[in-house]
Amino acid sequence: MNKYLPYQVSGFNALILIGIGAYGYFQSQTPSPTAFIPVVFGVLLLAMNSGIKSENKIIAHIAVTATLLILIGLLMPLKSALGKSDVGAIIRVSLMLLTTILALVSFIQSFIKARKERES
């Protein structure tokens, strides 16, 4: 099945959000405070990681909701980067989107697995 556990994928996603979000802010000639939104979400996801690892259902559901919000929130910056043909921004936002999608898929797979185990 899945080689990586949800807390591992979510932790990796959190680190990518923090690192790339901060890099995007500090490398910009006209930095916007909104560039810190992925950083904030990354810090929150990292803070929830031990709860995800210990399979705390409430924390896991909060984390998956936050991850979904990040996914939705990254669509506008991608659209903006594409409109400006800003290759650096396109790569940064696409990488954050990719890890966020992977985290969501990992969460969904673990929820399905847990449900099947409960039912059997």
Per-residue model confidence as pLDDT tens digits over 67-112:
999 999 999 999 999 999 999 999 999 999 999 999 999 999 998 9
pTM, entire model:
0.91
Contact between 109 and 2 under an 8 Å Cβ cutoff? The reply is yes
Residue 47: the pLDDT is 97
For residues 42-60, average pLDDT? 95
Residue 2: the pLDDT is 58
Contacts of 71 (CB under 8 A, 6+ apart): 97, 100, 101, 104
> Which run of H or of E encompasses 84?
helix 57-84
Q: Where are the domains of the chain?
A: 6-119
Other beta carbons less than 10 A from residue 23's beta carbon: 14
